[in-house]
Each structure stands twice: as C-alpha cells, then as structure tokens.
Amino acid sequence: MLSDVTTPQDLDDRFREALAGLAAAPRRRDPAERVHDGAPLTGAQLLDLFDAQVTSRQLDLAGRWLRSFGEGFYTIGSAGHEGNAAVAAALHPGDPALLHYRSGAFYCLRAAQAAGEVAFPGPEGETADPAPDGEAAAEAGTPPGEGTAATPSEAAATPTEPGSESEARSAAGSAAGSAAEAEAEAEAEAADGAADGAAAGRDGAAGREDAYAGAARDVLRGMVASAREPIAGGRHKVFGRADLAIVPTTSTIASHLPRAVGAGLALERLRRRDPAGRRAAAEPVGDVGQPPRSPWPPDAIVVCSFGDASVNHATATAAFNTAGWYDHTGLRIPVLFVCEDNGLGISVRSPKGWVEATLRSKPGIRYFSADGTDPVQAYEAAVEAAGWVRRHRRPAVLHLSTVRLMGHAGADAEAAYRSSGEIAADLDRDPVLATARLLVAAGVATADELLARYDERGWQVRRIAEEVLGEPKLASAAEVVAETAPRRPARVARAVADAAARAGGPGAAARADVFGGRLPEAAGPLTLAQSINAALADGMLDHPGMVVFGEDVAARGGVYGVTKGLRDRYGAARVFDTLLDETSILGLGLGAGLAGLLPVPEIQYLAYLHNAEDQLRGEAATMRFFSSGAFRNPMVVRVPGLAYQEGFGGHFHNDNSLAVLRDVPGLVIAVPARPDDAAAMVRTCLASAAVDGSVCVLVEPIALYHTRDLYAEGDGEWLADYAEPGAWAAGHAPVGRARVYGVGSAEDVTIVTFGNGVPMSLRAAAALADEGVGSRVVDLRWLAPLPVTDIVREASLTGRVLVVDETRRSGGVGEGVLAALVDGGFVGAARRVAAVDSFVPLGPAARAVLVTEEAITQGARTLLAR
C-alpha cells in the first residue's frame, strides 16, 4: 500500500508494479518505425526519451539516498517533470538554454544530443526573414509585427538524423565559443584549478560511459558539492555546461527570464550583422576593433524554463512584458519560454486555469500548450513552438502541464497540504510510466526489457554516486571565490593602452568622422557630463559590440544630456531607448553580455535601481561563480545618483543609498568626481568588462554633471581637458586605486571621501589651510573594491583621518573605510562625518540631513584638537 507521501521507495515500487501489469503488444515494431500512425516519434526516438527520463528519475532517487546519510546537499528533484526531455529533443543542441531546477531529463537528453548518441539532434533550422530592429523599424516606417492570434499554426518540423547541417552549425557555434573561452583561460594569470579539476574529473569516463551516464555524473557531483562538478565546481547544484549551451541559473523565482529576453535580443542583432556570423561588408562608422561574435549558431533560439508559481513573480512579468513590448514595435526576439505547470509552488496551489489565462493573455507572445506527461504530445508541441520561434524570430511560450512527485524537496511532507487521492492521481500521470506504456503498447519493447533498462541505469547511477562521494570538495575561501570576479589589472591597463594606440593610429580617421572633425581633446575644458559622453563615444568606437541603452538615452540623449549625440553617431541598433522597467533594462544587459556584446545600460536614477537590484546580485554577480568562469556577463551599468541637486529634490532624485551595491561580491563600483577621472574610469570599466568579464556600476554624481567652478564663481576649477589618446595610458585609473590631493603642507590631517564629498572636502581643506592646517584629500574613486592600500598609506602619513561620507551613517561607505583602517593596522585618530539616517527631503531641508562643508571643517578641527 502506498503511503500518503511519495517516498523514493513508493515511487520505485509503483513504477515496477505498473510496468509488470502492462500486456505485450501483438507484434514487435521496428524501432525505425513511427510508434503509431501520425506520431512524430519513432520507436528509437521514444527509447531515447525513455533513457533520458529514467536517468533523471534514478538521479532523484540517488539524491534522496545520498541525503539519508548526510552526503547529499540538494534534493529538489525532477520527478514528474521528465517530459521536458521532449523539449530538449525538439531543440538544436546549440540553442542556449536557461533551465529551472526540475530539468534533469532535459539536461540528460541535451548531453546525448551533443554527443550524437540519440536519433534526433533537433529539427532542421529554417532561414528566418530579417526584420528591422525596433526603433530603426519605426524610423523606417516598418509596421509592427503581426498579432500572434492571427498567425496560423505552423506544421511540426520533421526530425533530422545526426550529422545534419543544423547539427554541424550548432557544433561549430559551440566550438567557436569553447575556443574563445579556452583562449581566455590560457591567458589567465592565475591557475584555474577548479576548472582543471572539473575537466579531469571525467576520469577518462567518456570511453566507458554513454552520454546519459556522463550527465548523471555531472548532476551527482553537484548534489555532493564535488569540486569536480563541471560547471559550478561544487559551489551550487545547477544544471549547466558550456559545451551543451546550458547556462547555469538558480532559477528559484524566474529571475533568469529577463536575461533570456536580453540574450534573444542580442542574438538576433548579432545574426543580422551577417547570417553566417561573419562581419558584414558595411559596418557602422567607427567599427575599427574586432566584431562581436556570438557563442551560438546564427539560427539559434533561446529557451528558458520555469514553474507555474514563478508566473506571478515580478521578474517573470517584466520578461513577458518586455518581450511582448519589443515584438509590438517590430523588433524580433527569438525566445521560447517553457512553463512547467505542476499546479503547486511548494505548498501553495496555482488557482485552476490561472496559469493558462495569464500566459494566453501576454501580448506579443505566441501561446502553445500540451500535456507534459505525454511524450508524443509534449514533443509535437515543443517542435511546433520551437519551429515557430526559429522561423519568425519572435517570442512564444510553451505551457506544459506536469505533476510533482516526491514533494518539493527532501523535507517536504506532502500530506500536510495534499490528499492521498491527489498524490495517487499524480502517480497515475507519471511521465516515465507514460513513456513506458507507449513503448510497450507500440511493440517497441516489452515490460521486462524496459524494467531491465530501468534497473541497469539505476545501478549505474548508484555506482557513480558512490564514486563521486570520495571526490574533493572546495576546502578554502580562496577556492570558493576564485572565479567570483578575477582581477587582471595589468591586462586591463594594456587594453586601455591598446585602445589608445588604435584611436591615435589606424582608427584616427574613423574617430575624426565620429566626432564630426571636432575631437573632444580640442574642445577645451569639459564638464563631468561632457567627459563621460566623449569617453562613451570613444568606447563605442573601440568596441564594435558595445551597446548603450536605457530610458530616454537615445532620442533625448539622457535626462542630463550625458548620452547626447551617441545615437546619431552610431545608429539606433547600438544606442536605443527601452521601456520603463529597470529589471528589464538590466536583464537586457545580462543577456547581451552573455551573447557576446558589451552592454552599457543606464538606470535613470539611483533610487530606481533598488527596484531591480537582484538582477545585479542574483544574476549578474553570480554568473562566473556558478559557472567557474565558463560563462560571464560583462556589463557597465551607468547610474546617475547621489544627492545635492539644487532645485530638484526628493529621495527619488537625490538618493544616497549605496549599501546594497557594496554588499554584492565581485561588483565593481566606480564614483567619478572630476571630469578627467570620469573619462579615465569609463575607459577602465569598459576594459575591465571586456578583459575580465567584470560587472561594473558607474555611479555618476548628478550634482557634479555640469559643475564648472570649485572655489569661486567663474574659476572653472572643476572643468578639465579631455585627454588625447596618447595620454590615456599615463592617465589610466586602475580599479581600486584612489586619487590624492595635497592642500597646504598636507601633513596634518587626511580626509577620505568620494563623489560630492571631493569638491566639498577640497574647499574645506582650503579653509583649513588658511588656518595653517595642511590636508591630504583622498578621493576613493572606487567604492568596491575599496583602495585599501591607498587609504592606509595616506592615513598613516598624518596619523589623523576624517572620513567624509555623503551616504548614510548606517550602512554607509564610511563604515567600510573605518573597518579597512582597523584591519590595516592604523593606530592614529579617526573621525567620521556622514549623512543622517534619513531619506533626502525636498528643498533647503536637505541640508539638515546631508554632509556640509561646515561639518567637514568642524570635524577636522575636532580631530586636530584631540
């Protein structure tokens, strides 16, 4: 008798019992034949699906077994969702996939596809008709895409045999990506021990194991946190492998969906450069560097999967809305959303009919559905959906009804929220059993043969599980963080120097064209905003894959004019406006970086970043961490922020909260205060993103954008000349290095500050100099990583430190500076001046909560009086 909870033993017993009761077919069927008239699958293909499903099921059973004696650290399984093997079968093996955590069967089938061990590498791709990009289409008068409801259903594509042209293209794309990654790794200055271990960890198994066993070894290594796990290296259990085009994601709340939309947008734009992936003959003005290349085939589509509960999450809503919004404008985004609907979010039920109604109602997204427990129906719908997306280069959603077996995870007691009748009904819809029933009914195999196949795979998985138990695990902090955010400052500096050489040499003519014959270095002293604008223009010249986007950045040139003229110089495909949604803006950047571009998104105000900060924390900063460096998402996020705007206030436009950014491991946070520093720091961020795959946030002090004077009106002391290319290398601003100003004797007190605090501190230092006090003003420039060496050195030279922090006293930057001084062994006197723990109010009241020059001067005097 089955219990009210589907334990591993229950599930195994039920499968065996049901299989034993299946009557043999009247005749044996040739596996090369269709399993029945009109079916899209042959017997051999259905057996391949069965093997993938069984491998996934045995992995779930092994996971519970490992957990029973404390050696397994992950028990969220795929039981009940094994129908997603049919989705994998309907795709090309080079289609990038971002999978949720119940994708075991998909992963196994994709591994067999890539190894050429299954009867379908995926349907043959079809040539899609190019369509103008969004804003460019609008400018050209191209009408938006046709409504999804009016598009007739497309016929299912016929599966092809291994060795097809499509497979060759996919393999070539994967090989190109792997080769590029291998070259990058070969250049790395530090040994990549974890990745080497992962590669060696197959123990030569390729000669002994089929692809399903190899996939099982990958997953089991993740379960036991083995350092030889091929993607995350033991840092987390995820589905991912670069050579399988599977991008790792934790996928708990559909936070990967905005990235998938961004990847689709970037993939299509790269495809339009040239359908074969080569550089087009007519490039935009200024493309003097190497053209961007996608790691995936030109006809690829992006697939991402998620559960029914995730449909309700804000990130999923943002992704659907963005895909539909762009589709409405006529821009093509080839992404296939796959919703696997088991009706439950842990214990919370999805209201009956809600998921279908929600997905059907998404404008611009074609809806497909099928019973995900029926292998034939699931495959047929997946082929139709994937084929439609590939042909039309437009978004679609495939809604698969599934079941969930063995609860949400190991500790889940289903009886607390589900009846025994519900559990039994789900057991009757077991997708592995459904495939077995069809195989037996069709005469492809007998019940005994399938049981033998099931047991053979089970023993193989158990043997592999026992083997991986003894593999090494990450044992030190250095191993854990090795791939979080590698820093190669010498290579970044060289990249800046190389860019300068190109700008002053072979690219000089193109540069003159871009700037209309009036180079920025000849334009006279510039403001902060003007310097950033010129540096972005130079950056786009040197990085053909660089794209600038965000709210109002294109036609208007940004709220503060920082991106003015960039669209005119580089076109609407590289500088474009987005819809008003910060999650989607960052998601577009995440996907674009993953696909091979260098995205520079703008979040219009710092306060708005908080709406979408998890796209930086949970998606951007974790990509290298979860992939041992096999994937990366280089990105430079521009954020106008901080306080002190005159005549335009309130906490939405004067936000001084940076704590959430400083808490993200590996994130680079730059805050330029001076025009010359701003240009240099833009170049550094772009180089760091390109060289190291860094995720950089450039926080631009709004109040300093157009500031011209420092000490007195009309002095022009806060303007600076833009450096000509020959001076870029000498003026390079390395990540994590401060700028120091000496005022007076510079021997009495060290003032450590950043952003708006820099000009205020310099004015305060000038006032102190009139009193005979010499100051060293340290502009941090980089808030993460902090310039600790510079801080400690400059503090030690005076023995007195005043930290001027325009962020809040609690959680502000000053706390990190003081901690760095303590950790660095500083033994002198220290004091802090910081903003009050308050939101910034309107008008003159702002001065009551923000740092003032008077407070800085008085703070220094108090420190000197000790």
- Could you tell me how many residues make up the chain? 866
Q: State both tokens at 262.
A: 């961004």
CA distance 173 to 115: 15
Nearest to 305 by CA among 181, 174, 398, 443: 398
Q: Give one word for 408, left, alpha or beta, with left for phi > 0 and alpha for psi -120 to 50.
A: alpha
CA distance 134 to 153: 25
Nearest to 445 by CA among 5, 42, 38: 42
Q: Find out whether 503 and 520 touch, Cβ atoms under 8 Å.
A: no
Q: Find out whether 286 and 169 touch, Cβ atoms under 8 Å.
A: no
CA distance 745 to 413: 72
Q: Find out whether 483 and 629 touch, Cβ atoms under 8 Å.
A: yes
Q: State both tokens at 626.
A: 């979860």
Q: Find out whether 807 and 792 touch, Cβ atoms under 8 Å.
A: no
CA distance 745 to 776: 9
Q: Give one word for 579, left, alpha or beta, with left for phi > 0 and alpha for psi -120 to 50.
A: beta
CA distance 102 to 736: 41
Q: State both tokens at 765.
A: 């230092």
Q: State both tokens at 838.
A: 């308050």
Longest Cα–Cα distance in the chain: 105
CA distance 615 to 624: 14
CA distance 41 to 377: 10
Query: Token pair 């060496």 is at which residue?
Result: 789
CA distance 486 to 472: 23
Task: For residue 246, list its beta bridge partners.
Answer: 97, 241
CA dist list (Å): 672 to 255, 527, 610, 660, 698: 31, 12, 21, 19, 8
CA dist list (Å): 221 to 4, 214, 379: 31, 11, 29
**Selected catalytic residue, list 256, 408, 653, 732:** 653
Host H or E run for residue 328: helix 314-329
CA distance 355 to 311: 7
Nearest to 406 by CA among 52, 74, 11, 72: 11
CA distance 767 to 749: 13
Burial class (CB within 10 angstroms; exposed 0-12, middle 13-18, buried 19+) of 71: middle
CA dist list (Å): 430 to 12, 19, 88: 11, 12, 19
DSSP labels for 576-637? EE--S-HHHHHHHHHHHHHHT-EEEEE-SSHHHHTTSHHIIIIIITTHHHHHTTSS---EEE
End-to-end CA distance of the chain: 81
Beta-carbon count within 10 A of 663 CB: 12
Residues in Cβ contact with 187 at an 8 Å cutoff, skipping those fewer than 6 apart:
491
Q: State both tokens at 231.
A: 């993607």
653 is catalytic: yes
CA distance 604 to 23: 66
Indicate the residue type of 275: P
CA distance 45 to 121: 11
Q: Which residues are catalytically annotated?
A: 653
